[in-house]
Structure 1
Amino acid sequence: MASILLPEWWVSHILKKHHKTLPNMPGDGESLARHLIERLQLDCDGIDSADSGYGSYLASEKRFIFNRIYLKGKSLSSIAIITHEICTALQHQKNELIYQTKIKHFNLARQCQKLGATTLLFVPIVAGLIKVPQILLIYILVGVGFMLLSVAVYSYMLPQKLDASMNKALPILDKGGYLPKAYVENIRYILMAYAILDVVEALADILRFWRWLGLINQPK
Structure 2
Amino acid sequence: MELSVYTIEGKDTGRKVTLDERVFGIQPHTQSVYLDIKRYLAHQRQGTHKTKERAEVARTTKKHHRQKGTGGARHGSLKSPIHRGGGTVFGPRPHDYVVRLNIKTIRLARRSALSAKAAENAITVVEDFTLEKPKTKDFLNILKNLQLADKKSLVIIGDKDNNVYLSSRNLEQSKVVIASELNTYQIMNAQNLLISESALGKIQDTLTK
TM-score (norm 1): 0.20
Counting helix residues as a fraction of each chain, which structure ranks higher?
A: 1
Name the larger-Rg structure.
Answer: 2
